Amino acid sequence: MKKIVYAAATAIALAVGAGVYLNTGTEAAPASTFVLLDGSKKSTDDLKGKVTLVNFWATSCVTCVGEMPKVIATYDKYKAQGYDTLAVAMSYDPPAYVVNYAETRKLPFKVAIDNTGAVAKAWGDVALTPTSYVVNKRGEIVKRYVGEPDFAELHKLIEKLLAEA
């Protein structure tokens, strides 16, 4: 009988521990320096205090170009509530193409060029585009999307994170 009680207690403790581990699901966003199109710099620390979508993309990526109007609409919908977007162009994307795209599409958020690939490497060796990360107000990654996000789901997550203190 003692073995059964002990085994049950151990199983419950492990289940609770696993639940706590799985439910936290956050990790600090990697320390990075983003070089913006205007030459200024932004760091991962600058993301704190806002809910931010960090979107790795390329002008040659059909899915990236296809999702960009939805990324813009999401930014426009939530920016007044403390939401931001940072579009990070991949190292293989010619800077002139990125600048042209950002200007002709009037991207309303900050755009960075990852000239060396160091930012993509720091964020988990990002190779596939689009890859997007949702970062909470504490600077922690709470969700990663490879490919175009389900924007309805993304909006629910953003609303939940914006409501947190």
Read off the pLDDT of residues 31-59 as tens digits, 9 standing for 90 and up. Answer: 999 999 999 999 999 999 999 999 999 99
Domain 28-163 classification at class level:
alpha beta
Confidence of residue 165 (pLDDT cuts 50, 70, 90): confident
Domain spans of the chain?
28-163
More confident position, 18 or 26: 26
Cβ-contact 143, 137 below 8 angstroms: no
Mean pLDDT of 130-148: 97
Query: pLDDT exceeding 90 applies to what percent of the chain?
Result: 84
> What predicted TM-score, i.e. pTM, was given to this entire model?
0.84
* 8 A C-beta contact, residue 74 and residue 53: yes
pLDDT of 66 reads 97
